[in-house]
Structure 1
C-alpha cells in the first residue's frame, strides 16, 4: 500500500521556521522570506503561509513591519539586578537615578518620560501603602526607554504628605544622590518585592509596543520607612526584554 505524502500545513510551516530561528539559521532582526518565496518552498497558498506566520507572531518570535515584511524579533534584553537596585550605596546623581545609571553602565542609552498626577488610593494601593482607600496620593508614572525603545512602565505612588512640596511633584526626570526619598526626610529602610507573571493589559501593550503573545512581569516594590510605608512602585517589564536577577546569602 502506497502512503500518501504528508500535507504541508500552517502548523508545520511554523514549526520549520521556529526551528530555524532557534538554531540561528534565521538570525535576530533578519527578514523572513517573502510570502511568495515561502509559498513556493512549501507548495502551499499565501493564506496557509500567512496562517503559519501568525502562529509565530502569537509566540512573539516574529514581528511585522509597515509594508508587510516580517522579521525575527531582535530586542536586546537588559539585566535588571533587583538585589542591587535601590540598595545600600545608591548610585543616584543629578544626571540619573539608580536605574538609569545601571543601564548606562551596560553601554545602553536610558531615558525616562515622566508624568505626575494627584489621585485617590484604590483598594490595592491602599493595602500596599497601609492607608485608607480613597486617601489622597501622588503618582509618578515613568515610561523608561532603552536605546529609544520602551522597556518599562513604572508607577510610583506616595502618600500625599510624603510627596507634597517635594521634587516628587516635578514632572521631569529628577534624581538626587542617595535617592529623593532620603533627601526629603523619608528614607526607605527596607523593601518588599512581589512579582507576578501575566499577560499585559491593552494599555500596557500600547505603551510598551508589545507584539502579540508577549507576557510581562509585574514587579511591585513596597518601600518601608522607619514607621510606615512611604512608597509603592509597580513596574511592568516585558518578558522578552528582561533578565531579572536576585542574589542572596544562604
Structure 2
C-alpha cells in the first residue's frame, strides 16, 4: 500500500498535536530536533517540516530560529464577527499609541478626504500574556477624535471604549477581508513567522451623510483568528391574488 506524503504529514501532526494537548509535551518544552523526529517517524525532513508547519499554523508549535521547535500553549482565539465598530480582543490588555498625522496615499482613498487632511491614528496592539496577539490601526478624522492622552501600555480595556464616543450613528460598514502573508513590519510587531497567513481586514464606516467616520486596518494572525458571518433572512408573505 502506498501512503501519500500528505497523509503522512497529517498523521505526524495528529500525533504531535495529541502529545501537546494532553500535556505529554508541555508548553515551553523543546521538541526533538527535526532530524530526530524525521528518523522517529521514518519520513524525509521536508515531510516532517510540513507536519510541523501545520502545528505552527495552529499556534501549537513555535519555531525559534537557531534554537528549534517549541510547544506552546494554545493561543486565545479571536472570532471576528464584524458589522459594527472596530472590535477588540475581549478580556485582553491593549497598548494604544495615538498619533496625529496628515492623510497621504491610501489613507486619502480609505477616508475619502483630500491629501493633507488631519487625521488621528490609534495603533492598538493586544497582548496575550507577554506575547503580542493582534494589531488594529484605526484612523479617524481629527475633528471627531478625542483629545490626545499620554500612552499608557497596557490599557486593559476594549479598543472600542478608548475610541471617540459618541461617533455619529453609522449608516454603513464595508469590510474587505482577505488572507495574505504579513508584511515584515507586521511579522516583527506580532512576533510571528513571515510564512504564517493572516486575516487582513479593512473596515470603512460611514455616517448617514456618507462621510467616512472611521477606517480600520486589522491584522489577525491565522493561528488565532477566524471569521464568523451571520445572515438574517426575512420571509415576505405573498397575499393571494384575486
* TM-score over 0.5 for the pair: yes
Q: Distance in 2 between matches of 1:231 and 1:58?
A: 36
Structure 2 matches for 1:130-149, cutoff 5 A?
130-149=112-131
Query: Tell me, what secondary structure is at the counterpart of 1:99?
Result: coil
Aligned alpha-carbon RMSD (Å) = 3.6
Q: Is the 8 A contact 2:182 2:194 kept in 1?
A: no
Listed as ranges, the gaps of 5+ residues in structure 1 are 1-5, 88-97, 105-109
Query: Tell me, what secondary structure is at the counterpart of 1:206?
Result: helix
Residue correspondences, number: 216
Structure 2 matches for 1:9-24, cutoff 5 A?
16=8, 18-22=10-14, 24=17
**Residue deviations 1:6-42 (CA, integer Å, cap 9, x gap):** 9xxxx96x97454222354443583533456446546
Distance 1:248 1:43, change over 3 A: closer
Distance 1:218 1:177, change over 3 A: closer
Listed as ranges, the gaps of 5+ residues in structure 2 are 234-242
Query: Tell me, what secondary structure is at the counterpart of 2:223?
Result: helix
Matched, 1:27 2:20: yes
TM superposition outliers: structure 1 runs of 4+ over 6 Å: 174-179
Q: Which segment drifts farther, 111-120 or 168-177? A: 168-177
Matched, 1:118 2:100: yes
Q: Distance in 2 between matches of 1:179 and 1:203?
A: 24
1:3: which partner in 2? Answer: none
Match for 1:222 among 204, 219, 224? 204
In the superposition, the TM-score normalised over structure 2's length comes to 0.71
Matched, 1:196 2:178: yes
Q: Distance in 1 between matches of 2:121 and 2:53?
A: 33
In the superposition, the TM-score normalised over structure 1's length comes to 0.69
Distance 1:219 1:168, change over 3 A: farther
Query: Tell me, what secondary structure is at the counterpart of 2:188?
Result: helix
